[in-house]
């Protein structure tokens, strides 16, 4: 049986996976230039997670950073799905567990007359050998230009402060294909102790992993029941 090297496997990948892998590898290298074991491990995880996605979302921009106590994440992607379906899934607050496997609970608490929606989520995130259960309560509001903005309620959350912004636009570069431009920006300041052994690198890597998996699952969910 012929054996394939890592380079050979990468060369056989479709272009959208090569592009996504390049972005992830660049992000990892920027954060940990000397730890090649972590870089290689992340590449292998990627290769096992995403080859089965025959029409995977394409990440066009990825950035994670820490500013003081605050973590910031930026991801821009092209999702192969209708924009209305994408909006419907993102705002289906009682069922966000269908796209984010780290969520144990997602529920709509209240909705005001001006369409301000309070949403509570409970996630379980494991970094190295330590697991956290994290409560996050946000007030979401639909803004102009297809922007969905969420503000953290610190008294009800495990965050001192934070916000999330989804920018959702229709991509018209290919009139024969329904594609949505999706941008996720979020900033969060944890209100729980992160052990020094975990380190900033592993926290940022986990944030990127959660967001990437969520966007790919969003695309798969949006493509269901399409004739």
Give the rounded distance of the alpha carbon of 116 from its chain centre: 23
As to burial, measured by CB atoms within 10 angstroms (0-12 exposed, 13-18 middle, 19+ buried), residue 67 is: exposed
What pLDDT does residue 41 have? 52
Give the rounded distance of the alpha carbon of 225 from its chain centre: 23
Domains of the chain: 1-52 (no CATH), 58-222 (3.30.530.20)
What pLDDT does residue 197 have? 86
Is residue 72 within 8 Å of 211, Cβ to Cβ?
A: no
What pLDDT does residue 128 have? 87
Collapsing DSSP states into helix, strand and coil, what is residue 163?
strand
What pLDDT does residue 57 have? 80
What pLDDT does residue 129 have? 87
What pLDDT does residue 107 have? 97
User: Which pTM does this prediction carry?
Assistant: 0.76
What is the full per-residue pLDDT of the chain (227 aa) written as tens digits? Answer: 444 444 444 544 545 455 555 555 555 455 544 444 454 455 454 444 444 444 468 889 999 999 999 999 999 999 999 999 999 999 999 999 999 999 999 999 999 988 899 999 999 999 988 999 999 999 999 998 899 999 999 999 999 999 999 999 999 888 889 999 999 999 999 999 998 888 899 999 999 999 999 999 999 999 985 54
């Amino acid at each position: 049986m012929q054996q394939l090297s890592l380079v050979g496997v990468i060369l056989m990948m479709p272009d959208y996976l090569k592009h996504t892998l390049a972005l992830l590898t660049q992000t990892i290298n920027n954060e940990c230039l000397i730890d090649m074991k972590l870089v290689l491990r992340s590449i292998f995880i990627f290769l096992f997670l995403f080859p089965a996605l025959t029409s995977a979302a394409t990440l066009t921009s990825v950035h994670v950073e820490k500013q003081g106590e605050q973590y910031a994440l930026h991801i821009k992607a092209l999702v192969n799905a209708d924009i209305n379906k994408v909006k419907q899934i993102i705002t289906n607050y009682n069922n966000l567990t269908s796209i984010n496997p780290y969520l144990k609970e997602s529920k709509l608490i209240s909705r005001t007359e001006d369409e301000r929606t309070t949403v509570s989520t409970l996630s379980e995130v494991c970094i190295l050998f330590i697991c956290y259960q994290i409560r996050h309560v946000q007030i979401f509001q639909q803004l102009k230009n297809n922007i969905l903005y969420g503000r953290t309620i610190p008294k009800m959350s495990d965050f001192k402060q934070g916000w999330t912004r989804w920018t959702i636009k229709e991509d018209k570069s290919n009139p024969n294909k329904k594609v949505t431009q999706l941008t996720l920006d979020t900033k969060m300041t944890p209100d729980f102790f992160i052990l020094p052994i975990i380190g900033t690198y592993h926290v940022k890597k986990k944030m990127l992993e959660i967001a990437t998996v969520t966007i790919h699952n969003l695309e798969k969910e949006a493509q269901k029941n399409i004739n």
